[in-house]
Amino acid sequence: MEHKILAYLEQRPNEYVSGEQLSELLGCTRTAVWKHIRSLRDQGYTFDAVSRKGYKLTGKPDKLSAAAILAELSTAVMGRSVKMYDSVDSTQTIAHRLAEEGAPEGTLVIAEVQTAGRGRMGKNWHSPKGKGVWMSLVLRPNIPVHFTPQLTLLVAVALNRTIRKLEPSLPVAIKWPNDLLVDGRKISGILLESNAEDERLRHVIAGVGISVNLQEGDYPEELRGIATSLRMLSGREWSRSELIRAFLEQFEALYNLYDSEGFEPIRTAWEASAYSLGRPIAARTPRGVVEGVAESIDEMGALIVRHPDGSVTKLYSADI
C-alpha cells in the first residue's frame, strides 16, 4: 500500500495529489490513506499537506543502499563491491572475514548500526542506527607492514578533503594521527587494522566512522561536549550516500598518488590541514605520557614531539 502511494507521488513531483485520488488508487478509505501517510512520515518521508489540494512528497529518508552508492560512483576500484548490512557488531570484523575469504581490494562494508563499534586504543565507537556512516574498506596495498601508519594519515587527508568539498565553510582540521575536528570537537574517527605475517602485509582494513546526522540527544552524556556531527555543525541533513561516494573518490585519487609518488605528497597535504602541529601536547602512549610541542610528522607518519631540553620523541601510536 505504502509503496504504491510513494510511487504515485514520486511520479508527480510538482503536484498535490488529493486524499480522494489516493483512496481510489488504493481502494481504501481516506482515513486509511491518512494513516499510511502518517506511517510514511514516521519512516522519514516528508510531505507537504495542504487542505483541499492534498499531498506532495517533499523528502525521502536517507536510507543507505548499495544501489544508491553505486548509482553515481566514478571510482575504478574503491567501493566497486558494496556489502550493506542493517546491524553488525563491527564492520571491521566483517571486512576482515571477507578479506580472508579473498574479497578484492576496495570492497566496502557498511552498516546502519554497529552494536560493538571499535575505536582506537581499545575504546568503543558510538554508532547509532541510521545516523552516521559506519564503514570499512578492504585494502591490499603493496607496502611493508611498518608503512601502514602512512595509510592512516592518507585516510584522514581523504576524509578532510571530502568534507571540505561538500561544505567548504566548515573549518575541519586533522588531529594527529587521524581525528577530524571542528572547533575542537570530533566529527569522525579512523581505525586501521592490519593483517600481516612477519613483514608481509596480507590486508589492511580501513574503518571510518563519520557522525553525520546525529543530534545532541543521540549522544551519550560522556560524549556531549567532545563530539559533534556534520548536521549539528551545518544545520542541515546530509546525504550519507553522497558522502560515501565523495569519500571513495577522494580516497582513490590519493591512494593512487601514494602508489605512484610515495608518502611525500600525502605528508604535505596532512601537514597543511593539521590541528596539532605547533601546539603543546600531552600524549598518552602505552609506555606513559609524553609531553612537548608537536613539531611535524616524519617520512613514516610518526609525530615528532620536541621536549623543552631540545630532544625529540617519535610517536607511532598515542592518544593526544
Do 57 and 47 contact (CB within 8 A), yes or no? Answer: yes
- The answer to whether 152 contacts ligand BTN (rule: CB under 6 A) is no
Give first-to-last CA distance, the chain, whole Å: 53
- The answer to whether 90 contacts ligand BTN (rule: CB under 6 A) is yes
Nearest in space to 146 (alpha carbons), one of 289, 317, 12: 317
- The answer to whether 250 contacts ligand BTN (rule: CB under 6 A) is no
Report, in Å, the least distance between residue 205 CB and ligand BTN.
8
Q: Which of 106, 177, 209, 301 binds ligand BTN (CB under 6 A)?
A: 209
Beta bridge partners of 227: 186, 224
Do 177 and 257 contact (CB within 8 A), yes or no? Answer: no
Nearer to ligand BTN, 154 or 190 (CB): 190
Do 40 and 2 contact (CB within 8 A), yes or no? Answer: yes
Q: Which of 9, 83, 108, 136 binds ligand BTN (CB under 6 A)?
A: 136
Do 270 and 298 contact (CB within 8 A), yes or no? Answer: no
Q: Which residue has cell 510538482? A: 14
Q: Which stretch binds ligand BTN (CB under 6 A): 46-54, 66-74, 116-124, 145-153?
A: 116-124
Beta bridge partners of 85: 111
Report, in Å, the least distance between residue 185 CB and ligand BTN.
13
- The answer to whether 92 contacts ligand BTN (rule: CB under 6 A) is yes
> 3-state class of 112 per DSSP?
strand
Task: Give the distance from CA 259 to its chain's centroid.
Answer: 23
The CA distance from 142 to 139, in Å, is 10
Report, in Å, the least distance between residue 78 CB and ligand BTN.
16
> 3-state class of 170 per DSSP?
coil
Residue 56 labelled as part of a binding site? no
Residue 92 labelled as part of a binding site? no
Query: For the window 157-196, what string marks contact with ligand BTN as x by the rule CB under 6 A?
Result: ----------------------x---------xxx-----
Q: Which of 119, 130, 262, 265 binds ligand BTN (CB under 6 A)?
A: 119
List interacting residues with ligand BTN (CB under 6 A). Answer: 90-92, 114, 117-120, 123, 125, 127, 134-136, 179, 189-191, 207-209
Annotated binding-site residues for biotin read: 114, 118-120, 186
